[in-house]
Every structure is written in C-alpha cells, then in structure tokens.
Amino acid sequence: MAAPPSPLGLARRVSGAGAATPAAAWSSSCRPRRLRPRLLPSKRWSGVVRMGAAVGGEQEGEDEEVKLAKEMAAARRRWETLIREQKIKTLTPREAGYTFKLTDKVLLDVRPSNERQKAWVKGSTWIPVFDVDTSFDLGGAGKKFTNYVMGGWWSGSSTMTVNKNFVQQVEEKFSKDTDIIVVCQKGLRSLAACEQLYGAGFQNLFWVQGGLEAAEEEDFEREGPQPFKLAGIGGVSEFFGWTDQQRAQAVKEGLGYRLIFTGRLVGALVLVDALFLGAQRIGPLLQELQSR
C-alpha cells in the first residue's frame, strides 16, 4: 500500500479571485467553534499546487491534473478530520483578534514575505511555511518564467519554495504546549501549516478561517502600508484596481479611491497611443534612410 501524502503537499499559490466571507460576530464565550466540513475551501482548490507529496495509488504516466485532484482530495479529507475531531480548533478573524488581544495565545503568521511586508498584525510572529523562491539557477529561472507567462504578470503571484525548516523554526520559538493561532492570507496555507505542527506534537492549535483577507481592519491591530484584504494581490490587475478586493475597497473609500486607478488607466492609454503614433512616424523615416 502506498504511503499517504505528506504534510508538504501545501497550498503554493492561492488565486486572488475575490475576498472571503466577512467574519461572524464575536462570541461572548470566546470559545472556538467547530468548523463544518462544507466551510472548507472548495472552489479555491483550483489554485492549490502540489509540492512534492506522493499521492497513494497514482500510476506512472498518469495525467498531471488527475494527480493534482487526488492530492487535493486527500488533503481535504485529512484537514476535515483534524477539524472535526477538534485536533485543530477554528476561529473567525474577529474571534482570533479578540483572543490574541485578551489572552496569552501567540499569533503565528505563515504567509510568504511578499504578503507579510504589505500588512501584518502587530505583535505577531512570522515564520513562513513557504516563501518566495529567490534562487537564480536554470531550473528556478524556468519556473519563474512559466509562472509569469501563465498569469503571474496579471495577478502578481510569485514562484514559491517550501520552507523545509518550518517546524524546526516554530519549535525553537515555542514549546509544544503553547496556544498558537495560525493565520495566512486566505486560510489554506495556515491549515496546511497546522497539519505539520500537529504532526510534530503541537496540541493547542487554532486555525483562522478565511485568513487575514476575511478580517476587517478593526479585528487586528495592523502594521504595514496596505489593508489586510489587499496584502495578497499584485501585478497588472492590482495596478489598475481590477481585483475584487479593490472593488470592494472602492465601495468603502468612495470616489477619490476610484479616481486613482482611473488616472492610471488613462495615463497608460495615453502612453500606448503615444508609442503607436511614434512607431508610425519612425517607420517611414527608417524606410527613407534605407533607400538612400
């Protein structure tokens, strides 16, 4: 029988297709609530990328999409079991914020550096479960090029690499009886991180459902230049304000926020038009020079 997939089958890239559902009202009991299986990510699984985990039963030459589907299904079953059996407890962003402020629980941010540097919770501990790939070897360059042409230019997504020392780094910071609230941007990577930590012997783990993207600004004390909801976007779509997160933000901010991106779009169109006209004029000049 093949071995089950390891916890290193992590969510490597999560699409910025829209903000998660806003957090529920804070419970007066502050007691973690059990997550129903239907609340686990479903449509977002298209953005989950395999990172070296072996999926039991796969055959040599099996289609890549079939392998990926098997791994996603296996990971969902494991995570649902951990939550259903209360081995990993669930908090909404608002519950997590109040709990972090009012108790001695620690908040562990497992996001990559490109998201962390935009916005982070004051007082949180940062240990990425995977981070931006900064290697310059030929293989790494090929992956980065593929990622860019396959949509990275639009979404700003980066090629990621697993932090193989993640569990060790957490163990160096915290004892295994520490109450740890684990958070990422959307909620997938933190759940994968919880699985690794639970397997290493950590017993008091709290998963923030929906991640920081589902948090309101008042839920946590934020540091950094961007709102929590915008920390996971990038690329051309962010520059022009065409992401779902920015459209939602525009509703709150009003006309001034919209005008910023309208100005960027108008400026880009003017630049493209100028380049086109310049090319039209240069063409005849080059032909005239060649004919002399």
Give the tens place of pLDDT for each residue, 249-289.
877 777 777 777 677 777 777 777 677 677 767 767 777 77
pLDDT in tens, 96-122: 999 999 999 999 999 999 999 999 999
The catalytic residues are: 184
pTM above 0.75, yes or no: no
Contact 123, 221 (CB under 8 A): yes
Task: Tell the CATH topology of 62-227.
Answer: Oxidized Rhodanese; domain 1 (3.40.250)
The answer on pLDDT for 53 being more than 70 is: no
Report yes or no: 13 and 160 within 8 Å, Cβ to Cβ. yes
The domain limits of the chain are: 62-227, 241-281
C-alpha distances out from residue 256 to 241, 243, 251, Å: 13, 17, 11
pLDDT, mean of residues 186-210: 95
Whole-angstrom distance, CA of residue 145 vs CA of residue 160: 13
Q: Which residue has the higher pLDDT, 104 or 136?
A: 104
Alpha-helix residue ranges (DSSP H) falling in the chain: 64-84, 93-102, 113-116, 138-147, 153-155, 166-173, 188-199, 235-239, 244-253, 255-291
Cα 46 from Cα 55, distance rounded (Å): 17
- Name the nearest CA neighbour of 5 among 62, 73, 64: 73
**Mean pLDDT score, 176-204:** 95
